[in-house]
Amino acid sequence: MAVASQAANYVEKAIGHTGDAVIEQDMTNPDRDREKYADPSGEKMKALAWMGKNDVQLVETFKPKVIEDRDVILKVTGSTICGSDLHLYHGTVVELQKGDILGHEFCGKVDSVGPGVKNLKPGDRVVASFQIACGECMYCQKKLSSQCERTNSNKVENIMYGGRTAGMFGYSHFTGGFAGGQAEFARVPFGDVNLLKLPDDIPDEKGLYLSDVLSTSWNCVVDTGVKEGDVVAIWGAGPIGQMCAEMSFIRGAKRVIVIDGGPAAWRLDLVQSKTPKVETLNYTDLPSGTTVTSKLKEMEHGGPDVALECAAGEYAKGIAHKLEMLAGLETDTSEILNEMITSVKSFGRCGITGVYVGYTNHFNIGAIMERGIRLIGNGQAPVHLYWEDLLKMLQDGSLRSDIMLSHRVDISEMDTLYKKFDARADNIQKVFVQTRFSDPPAPGTPELTSWK
């Protein structure tokens, strides 16, 4: 996949961008053009950069500057690592370049604003949406911010998908090429619409997660149509799967079954300890001849009503898919999708939120047609559609984001964090990454962990 990533870079360079974006593209590190992108003060910052497959490094680079009227420069006070970051780490997302600053979930304090920003001022506490929206196009007018038409001009994505997502922070040149927030400073284009003010009663350790994980989980549950009385099965017990379980109960689900296994099986116990109503299924403990599908149908007559994919397509289990992915014959395995399709009741609903980047083989399309299964691509979650309501839920206590927060780490150890998170080590579920600008830990949140 690393070879495919570089090939995609060459293709994009050869065919050129579409020209639809109205903001600067391919600015993934101020050091790439200091005169154009770096703050004139010469101030330096720490940042986490992709250096190659399975190789991220903490680097010193320049603080970014305002380059467009609606830019906001943030002092980052909190960031995190996400399962989606592992797809970059593994090189499965194309068009990464050495030195790209990673990180799509972050919050901070406003450092400076461009002349076009009227609703924010230095010192304001804010959280950034992981996508970059203009606030004005057809999709943005409906708050479908993840599909903004004016912030990503990548032609390869347009050819592959028949359209493009919005630009995204720290997520390769495939999504526009924007420096991410796993850094001490971040530039936020269209900052007047891509930043949400955080009230005093919401600490960073809660507000940060409006950036992605809470909005993505809520979108998965709502978009797939979880409703009163449903039985829901969730593939993947990471932070997204955990929050989908919690949110399914909020939406009135009768039962929620979370599926995981292998080196990540410990997450099942964690999820159940935080939400005791959750039932779990460890696929590695199933006896010979018993499949995930047969076990689910044993647990619930006909199977669940709803299946939610919160894992991703890069994790093949069977030898056929492993070989085909290694040979470049597919980018994603269809194994989890097939389990979902065959597990749900007829006319059941299957939602895909885990990342799938390209093409898959051996997909059971017959079961979809014959049994009337609804397969729903939840898409990159439109954060702007949900984050104000989710903030209110955090304030009134109806939504508990703290149940997933397991660790606090300093940005200086972010490279080690990637290795441990990838290995599912040290019971790391969701992390708060602090910088020199962060406040002390909020009451009831984890103290600092160090591996030095």
Distances (CA, A) of 90 to 157, 236, 352: 19, 18, 21
Whether 208 and 144 have beta carbons less than 8 Å apart is answered as: no
Instruction: Kindly report the pTM of this predicted structure.
Output: 0.94
Pairwise CA distance, residues 259 & 274, whole Å = 16
Q: What is the pLDDT of residue 428?
A: 96
Q: What is the pLDDT of residue 142?
A: 98
Q: What is the pLDDT of residue 315?
A: 85
In total, the chain counts a number of residues equal to 452
Residue-wise pLDDT tens for the chain (452 aa)? 455 555 555 565 666 677 788 999 999 999 999 999 999 999 999 999 999 999 999 999 999 999 999 999 999 999 999 988 998 998 888 789 999 999 999 999 999 999 999 999 999 999 999 999 999 999 999 999 999 999 998 888 878 888 889 999 999 898 999 999 999 999 999 999 999 999 999 999 999 999 999 999 999 999 999 999 999 999 999 999 999 999 999 999 999 999 999 999 999 999 999 999 999 999 999 999 999 999 999 999 999 999 999 998 888 888 999 999 888 898 899 999 999 999 999 999 999 999 898 899 999 999 999 999 999 999 999 999 999 999 999 999 999 999 999 999 999 999 999 999 999 999 999 999 999 999 999 999 999 999 98
| Number of neighbouring beta carbons within 10 Å of residue 449 | 16
Q: What is the pLDDT of residue 6?
A: 55
To 10 degrees, what angle do helices 213-223 and 239-250 make? Answer: 50
Q: What is the pLDDT of residue 416?
A: 97
Exposure letters 155-177 (e unless 16+ CB within 10 A, then b): bbbeebeeebbbbbbbbbbbbbb
Q: What is the pLDDT of residue 12?
A: 53
